[in-house]
Amino acid sequence: RNFKRQIECRSDIDRLNASFLAIYESLIPAEEEKAKQKQLLTLLEKLVGKEWPEARLYLYGSCANSFGVLKSDIDVCLAIEVADNKKSEVLLKLADILQSDNLQNVQALTRARVPIVKLMDPVTGISCDICINNLLAVVNTKLLRDYAQIDVRLRQLAFIVKHWAKSRGVNETYQGTLSSYAYVLMCIHFLQQRRPAILPCLQGMERTYAVTVDNVECAYFDRVEKLGDFGCHNRESIAQLVWAFFNYWAYCHDYANDVISVRTGSIISKRSKDWTRRIGNDRHLICIEDPFEIRHDLGRVVDKYSIKVLREEFERAAEIMQYDPNPCATLLEPYIP
């Protein structure tokens, strides 16, 4: 029954499209927000530079990957030469420095999976997490940003999907659902798979950018401005894509056997990655390969309870896109436990 479904059956598709575009537009951060983020980064650079002149700060995550909606916090990576076992000391020292400069709610979380210092800047009102030497995140941030430049529908789709995930409570890795990073990879993969394709596979092309970080080689085609209007042969609208995205995750994805892989621009098998059984806490119930750390499954946080929650939400979304008279509102309705 599933393959017969088509959103074109909806007579209100144009109106639906306009509604999704309006939601997308309303989520784009204002220029002044970007300026405030820069202002905070400059302050942090000044403070860090006094103590560690050779250290560098990089923005990563949604404030730098073009998938940040308005009023986001910022993620900063401090690149500094320090032995792994001395990272906590650096974080504590950093917290000290920031505290004495009137930054608020400064907290060093040295035992977190990714140890960070948290703070809030009372001048700009922006909150910020600073981690140390997480350079792979800086590089995957660039990859996402480069993909976003190729076709605006990626940013539109990812904004809607992230907004949906936050509203429905399925963007909480500590509760076994997926990170924003995982959702953006799902969107990129999905657009690579459309026919005609809306996005290319940058890691399968000529390598114009290559770095080795933590022994991982990260290389891909990053001259995306040279790709012209890559997706122009595919005329699907954002409403069609949102519908097809949820339809794919609700009814078409083979959860038992498949891994989605942005790196290869295709589906690969769990068997080829030896992700067929639970090892430790990695259950591989939904498999999303990290584009660079290829042994890393971004679905590893999903457990046997949360996979049900996720799949039910995908099905709910797909049903709404098909039948609901006012899909935008219903789709993004907050989940109340």
Binding site for ligand GTP (CB under 6 A): 60-62, 65, 67-68, 72, 75, 136-137, 140-141, 179-181, 290, 293, 296, 298
Nearest distance in Å: CB 78, ligand GTP: 14
**Of Mg ion, ligand GTP, none, which one sits near residue 194, judging by CB under 5 to 8 A according to partner kind?**
none
* SS3 of residue 277 by DSSP: coil
Residue closer to ligand GTP (CB basis): 79 or 197: 79
**Of ligand GTP, Mg ion, none, which one sits near residue 181, judging by CB under 5 to 8 A according to partner kind?**
ligand GTP
> How many angstroms separate the first and last alpha carbons of the chain?
31
- What distance separates the 2 farthest-apart alpha carbons in the chain? 64
**Of Mg ion, ligand GTP, none, which one sits near residue 140, judging by CB under 5 to 8 A according to partner kind?**
ligand GTP
**Of Mg ion, ligand GTP, none, which one sits near residue 231, judging by CB under 5 to 8 A according to partner kind?**
none
What does residue 130 show for φ and ψ, rounded to 5 degrees? -115, 125
Number of Cβ within 10 Å of residue 5's Cβ equals: 15
**Of Mg ion, ligand GTP, none, which one sits near residue 137, judging by CB under 5 to 8 A according to partner kind?**
ligand GTP
Q: Where are the alpha helices (DSSP H) in the chain?
A: 13-27, 31-51, 87-99, 135-150, 152-167, 180-193, 238-247, 270-273, 306-323, 327-331
Secondary structure (H, E, C), 95-159: HHHHHCCCCEEEEEECCCCCCEEEEECCCCCCEEEEEECCHHHHHHHHHHHHHHHHCHHHHHHHH
Residue closer to ligand GTP (CB basis): 24 or 243: 24
**Of Mg ion, ligand GTP, none, which one sits near residue 65, judging by CB under 5 to 8 A according to partner kind?**
ligand GTP
Residue closer to ligand GTP (CB basis): 62 or 133: 62
Contact 336, 169 (CB under 8 A): no
Nearest distance in Å: CB 206, Mg ion: 31
Nearest distance in Å: CB 61, Mg ion: 4
What single-letter amino acid sits at 225?
E
28-34: long-range pairs with CB below 8 Å, 24+: 28/69, 28/70, 28/159, 29/68, 29/69, 29/70, 29/71, 29/72, 30/70, 33/70, 33/71
Residue closer to Mg ion (CB basis): 61 or 291: 61
From the list 16, 22, 5, the residue with the least C-alpha distance to 239 is 16
Q: What would the two tokens of residue 105 be?
A: 């709610």
Residue closer to Mg ion (CB basis): 77 or 241: 77
For Mg ion, the binding residues (CB under 5 A) are: 61-62, 75
Nearest distance in Å: CB 5, ligand GTP: 30
**Of Mg ion, ligand GTP, none, which one sits near residue 33, judging by CB under 5 to 8 A according to partner kind?**
none
Nearest distance in Å: CB 60, ligand GTP: 5
Residue closer to ligand GTP (CB basis): 142 or 153: 142
Nearest distance in Å: CB 236, Mg ion: 29
Residue closer to ligand GTP (CB basis): 142 or 316: 142
Nearest distance in Å: CB 180, ligand GTP: 3
